[in-house]
Amino acid sequence: MAITEPQLRALVATISKIPPDQITADARFTVELRMDSLASLDLLAALEEDHGITISQAEARKLQTFGQLVGHVKAGTP
């Protein structure tokens, strides 16, 4: 199941506990969104379980910003 950018933003907001309106394309997961490795794993699990989107940990390490995550998800989603 595909996920839209607003849905992805809402998911990241829930996990990071940052308001969705503060999650911009250039928001870095470890800095502005204050997500640690456990939060990142929670995000990967939610994407896979709820939306059928699998992102390996190796791929996830390359995704530093919310915008990069959106681009990766859009590129991999038909």
Domain total in the chain: 1
pLDDT tens for the chain, 78 residues long, are 489 999 999 999 999 999 999 999 999 999 999 999 999 999 999 999 999 999 998 999 999 999 999 999 999 855
Nearest to 13 by CA among 4, 25, 22, 5: 22
Query: Residue holding tokens 């911009």?
Result: 24
Q: Which domain holds residue 29?
A: 5-76
Do 69 and 63 contact (CB within 8 A), yes or no?
A: yes
Predicted TM-score (pTM) above 0.75: yes
Query: Residue holding tokens 């991999």?
Result: 76
CATH number for 39: 1.10.1200.10
Taking the C-alpha atoms of residue 44 and residue 59, their distance in angstroms, rounded to an integer, is 11
Do 34 and 18 contact (CB within 8 A), yes or no?
A: yes
